[in-house]
Amino acid sequence: MNQYDTICGPATAIGGAVAVIRIAGPDAIAIGNRIWHGREPLSRECARKMLLGRAGGDHVLAVCMPAPASYTGDDVVEIHCHGGAAAARSVLRTALEAGCRMAEPGEFTCRAFLNGKLDLVKAEAVAEIVAARSDTALRLAERQLAGALSRELQDLRTALVEILAECESHLDFPDEELDWEPDLAAGLDRPIALTERLSASAHAGSVLRDGIRVVIAGRPNVGKSSLMNRLLGYDRAIVTAIPGTTRDTLEEPLTLADIPIRLTDTAGVRDGGDHIEQIGIERSRQTMATAEVIFLVLDASAPAPAAEWAAWQQDPRMLVIWNKIDLVPDRVLPELPVPSVRLSTLTGENLTALADAFRQLVWGSSDWSEPELAVNSRHAAELAVIGQLLPEAAGSLRREEWEVAAIPLRSAIAAVDRITGENADPDLLERIFSRFCIGK
């Protein structure tokens, strides 16, 4: 990514009513004027005004956002043309012919980062807003973009820098009677607590960003595929009264209890069946092995489950679903050592109980409230490093070993800087921004 090129890319998904082509870089306005023609040329004087004109043979709107008051921090021109692949491509082609280079994935946001418009944590939030699959994940990403996490990290950094400065003045002026902080180690209590709090948010961050893998398992004919269809809200899986209907695993994304999940329906596990069914059953077992949550469906109208399920009942990933209670509404069901719900996928009765039990299983509590912020795995890895370094530094400070204490303090500050992208190395930037979509 060369920062001095003028780049272009589609800022909207192709296929909508309107497509936005974004041009950014030192020649953006000149190139904009080469491909767009209106009553007056694009210039600083018409900043942030929508102007009607023509480009690539189409009637389009153009808006000019001169540096530094633009998303990327350099000159930006956006052309709003008719949506649809051909119309957008035509404008894009003329921009390329007029001297632009096609933007790499995430290159606009990368420029915003390099121009100091946002730190790395905020840049990541931009991608997360685009990728958010639940309202909670979206709000989390919006707060991160607004600076909720950046502020905490800034606080952490400031506290560490102050302690390091004190530590270094002990080294520089060992014999002077300065106004020394009496208990420097205690000054690390708050940074340590903050690091722990941020680290603890990683689980929520991973659940809300990456979602979790949920598998529907059980014997044939208990209603696994019916449950899949009910949760999806449409008939995705084939449902019949014949045991062994589902032969292969079937995966779909959805949101349950505001948690993004990948839900997999599996072939009912039983002995016998033909060769194809046995391959399907082997897949079911493999899918279950890697699942984070297992919905074990049992038929409430059938005799108590066979002993083979007993082992599964010890599994902390398990949520037992007694299905078909419409057939036996008054039946007293056996107590189980794992959470269980009773419902009917046929009538939809009690499905909300499943969402509640699922929320409880994932968050470990029924009164889970949305976190203010949640770190991602990259942040968590650095926070783990900081979490080790700070107690080490505190120990040295208590022993008044200033020189020794300064080493972990410096390393911890460097780790905070890696999170926010201060002095970030190009490989890291490449890794992060390549996950963005083109035009973002």
The contact set with ligand GTP (CB under 6 A) reads 218, 220-226, 239-241, 243-246, 267-268, 323-324, 326-327, 344-346
* Residues 112, 439: Cα–Cα separation, whole Å: 13
94 binds, among ligand GTP, Mg ion, none (CB under 5 to 8 A by kind): none
Amino acid in the structure at residue 225: S
| 33, 70, 109, 225: residue in contact with Mg ion (rule CB under 5 A) | 225
Q: Which two tokens stand for residue 95?
A: 């921009």
246 contacts Mg ion (rule: CB under 5 A): yes
CB 352 within 8 A of CB 372: no
Pick between residue 199 and residue 225 the one whose CB is nearest to ligand GTP.
225
Q: Which of ligand GTP, Mg ion, none has residue 122 at its interface (CB below 5 to 8 Å by kind)? A: none
Cβ-based nearer residue to ligand GTP, 156 or 269 = 269
Contacting range for Mg ion; rule: CB under 5 A; set: 143-151, 179-187, 244-252, 317-325: 244-252
* Binding-site partner at residue 243 among ligand GTP, Mg ion, none, CB < 5 to 8 Å by type: ligand GTP
Q: Is 287 near Mg ion (CB under 5 A)?
A: no
In the complex, what is the shortest distance from the CB of residue 7 to Mg ion, in angstroms, rounded to a whole number?
49
Q: φ, ψ for residue 354 (rounded to 5)? A: -65, -45
Nearer to Mg ion, 106 or 268 (CB): 268
Stretch binding Mg ion (CB under 5 A), from 29-37, 160-168, 220-228, 289-297: 220-228
Q: Are 397 and 167 in contact (CB under 8 A)?
A: yes
Contacts of 30 (CB under 8 A, 6+ apart): none
383 contact partners, CB below 8 Å, separation of at least 6: 195, 198, 199, 202, 375, 415, 419
**Contact residues for 188 (Cβ-Cβ < 8 A; gap 6+):** 159, 163, 390, 391, 393, 394, 397
Q: CB under 8 Å to 174, separation ≥6 — which residues?
A: none
We find the least distance from the C-beta atom of residue 338 to ligand GTP, in angstroms, to be: 19
Give the shortest CB-265-to-Mg ion separation in angstroms.
Answer: 6
Judged by beta carbon, residue 148 or residue 294, the one nearer ligand GTP is 294
What is the distance between the alpha carbons of residues 68 and 117, in angstroms, rounded to a whole number? Answer: 9
Query: Could you tell me which stretch among 29-37, 152-160, 219-227, 354-362 binds Mg ion (CB under 5 A)?
Result: 219-227
Site residues for Mg ion per CB under 5 A: 224-225, 245-246
